[in-house]
Copies of this chain bind each other. A is one copy, B any other.
């Protein structure tokens, strides 16, 4: 029972998404997820605190990789360029998991409790990215604004990509196009002293 199970985490995530899709999130139990993955409940709880966390395990990976990307941005650090590099990384990671990411998104959107959890995870990612920028010497409020603007691009681009009916868009490209859109939208704002 306590033996090492190859890719237990991934198998549990896959089984959970299958079951959430088939019979609904509320109706699925941890026991069923474990059974579908060919694992025990005990193995489940070695990897996830509860049923909800199966959907959010990936955010730890994103958190790590994105802050690493900001830390690795070349000197001198242009805050939005460092954030764009992090979004490129997110685009590649999620593109590789496209089917899983889309199914997960459908489950999360359908449940207020999960949408709230997602908001919290994204807010914590934004805070981590701002922290990584400050580590690189970017002052406030530029660090927080760049991180928040990056999360705005992330959210909007991810939704466009997840909703794409043709299903052939590349997330990194959608992120880049959305970043360009953000730049043009913000540039269009007249300063208070300017005529509109």
* Residues of B with C-beta under 8 A to A146: 185-186
The answer to whether the Cβ of A160 comes within 8 Å of any Cβ in the partner chain is yes
A83 contacts partner chain B, Cβ-Cβ < 8 Å: yes
How many protomers of this protein does the assembly include? 2
Contact residues in B for A119 (Cβ distance below 8 Å): 116, 119-120, 123
Give per-residue flags for A152-185: 1 if the beta carbon is below 8 A from chain B beta carbons, else 0.
Answer: 1101110110000000000000001011111101
Cross-chain contact A142 with B176 (CB below 8 angstroms):
no
Docked CA distance A148–B126 (Å) = 13
Q: In the complex the two chains form, what is the Cα distance from A141 to B175 in whole Å?
A: 12
Other A-B pairs, 17, CB within 8 Å; known A80-B188, A80-B189: A78-B189, A78-B190, A81-B189, A83-B189, A84-B189, A84-B190, A116-B120, A145-B156, A145-B185, A148-B156, A149-B152, A149-B182, A149-B185, A149-B186, A152-B152, A176-B191, A182-B186
| Chain A residues close to B by CB (< 8 Å) | 74, 78-81, 83-84, 116, 119-120, 123, 141-142, 144-146, 148-149, 151-153, 155-157, 159-160, 176, 178-183, 185-192, 196
Task: Tell which of A144, A178, A180 has the most Cβ of chain B within 10 Å.
Answer: A144
The verdict on A188 contacting B81 (CB below 8 Å), with A142-B181, A149-B149, A178-B141 known, is yes
Report B-chain residues with C-beta under 8 Å of the C-beta of A78: 188-190, 196
